[in-house]
Amino acid sequence: MQFHEEPSIGDRVARLRTRRKLTQEGLAERAGLSVDIVRKLEQGVRQTARLTTLNALARALDVEPSVLVGQPATFEVRGDDEPSVLALRQAVSPVSDLLGEEPDPEEPPTVAALRDTLRSTERIRREGRMGEIGSVLPQLIRDAKAVARASTGSDAASAYAVLAEAFQVAATTLTALGKEDAAFTALERSMDAARKGNDPHLETVGVSSLAWIFTKQGRLNDAERVALATAEKIEPGFRSRPLELALWGVLLLRAATAAVRLERRDTVRDLLNMAGAAAARIGMDRLDYATPFGPTNVGVARVNFLVEMEENAEALRSAHTVPDLAALPPTWRARYHIDLATAHADLGQEEGAVRALLTAERTAPEWMRYHSTSRRLVADLREREHRRTSPLTGLADRLNIDG
């Protein structure tokens, strides 16, 4: 499948602004931005914008930020029968919920087999193999439902725990593809399954995912509120286990992600310091419920927040202090290199930006094709470049960015 040339952010802003009968000045005032930013985006002088800017514009236009950014609508298609994002939607909201279940001729799998499939699915998601997750996750959801229906006692509770995690993977995948409405539905179903399961931590993990979905929707105050409220409930004590410290730390980072886009810099620094203290107590990087936490992840988060706050030189200096990047999953490492590319680009260091982008691509090539920030950054850098052939041109071709 080839991606056709996508409307720019400015095209989308102009179309929505006109539909809402706003002038450029009116939109800028409503968003709390300089009219020069609106004008340059609409004229195509600027191809990218900070997430704080996008969130402000989205609130002013009453849309989700992903509407302005644009997202590929389906998974990469390699054949006529390859499932698309539609398969995930159908698994999350099947018509059988309305019409009733049809008899299944196959025996449901064992709980152990479900857990094995879940671990494999989480690994695929962490590695950014988006096409594969569209193939395996819908069936995992159906299988977990079947086992939960057919079982009683501890087996049913275990099946519901797997179902809760599978719905969480569906929610994060759909969010990454800009389908926050379906992601929210998946997370509601995850929380319901978690209450029937036998893992007391799954609801906390669900709140962490909910905070991320709210952030992607531009509901930044809601994201910060749910993350901090849950973090307060589970605040660890002197004898808390590393898992409990990690879950608390992840919630703090989720809250900080919303706070940085609300431009609450002091809050961001406080939350980052607390998360750093939790990571230091653990002393090593962990991977719980497909989410990393530890000294490395806190270091990567610090770089991300500095880039978001446009403290780009400090972000590049801070990058040298990240302790063990190899400890993170590929998609986390790739996102870190995108942050470095953004910092280099904002400082006018195009060669450094391209190097970081190529590193991100080598780390998680399929994920790169669906990551909107990566695509925007490549398009913006290519606008600045005058050579017909270059590593950047090759990257744009591989990402199927036309023009």
Residue 214 and residue 251 in contact, taking contact as beta carbons nearer than 8 Å: no
| Other Cβ atoms within 10 Å of 39 Cβ, number | 15
Both tokens of 3, joined, read 């991606």
Could you give phi then psi for residue 160, rounded to 5 degrees? -65, -35
Is the pLDDT reported for residue 82 higher than 60?
A: no
Both tokens of 8, joined, read 């720019």
Show the domains of the chain with their CATH numbers: 1-69 (1.10.260.40), 71-199 (no CATH), 217-328 (no CATH), 330-403 (no CATH)
pLDDT tens, residue by residue, 223-262? 999 999 999 999 998 889 999 999 999 999 999 999 999 9
Residue 323: alpha-carbon gap to chain centroid: 23
pLDDT tens, residue by residue, 309-334? 999 999 999 999 999 999 999 999 99
Q: What percent of the chain has pLDDT over 70?
A: 90
Could you say which DSSP state residue 22 is in? -
pLDDT tens, residue by residue, 253-291? 999 999 999 999 999 999 999 999 999 999 999 999 989
Which residues have C-beta within 8 Å of that of residue 218, sequence separation ≥ 6?
Answer: 55, 58, 59, 64, 65
Could you say which DSSP state residue 325 is in? G
Is the pLDDT reported for residue 69 higher than 70?
A: no
**pLDDT, average across residues 28-46:** 89
Helix (H, G, I), strand (E, B) or coil at 240: coil
Both tokens of 131, joined, read 């096409």
pLDDT tens, residue by residue, 94-136? 887 777 766 655 677 888 888 988 888 888 888 888 877 877 8
Is the pLDDT reported for residue 297 higher than 90?
A: yes
In this prediction, residue 180 has a pLDDT band, given cuts at 50, 70 and 90, of confident
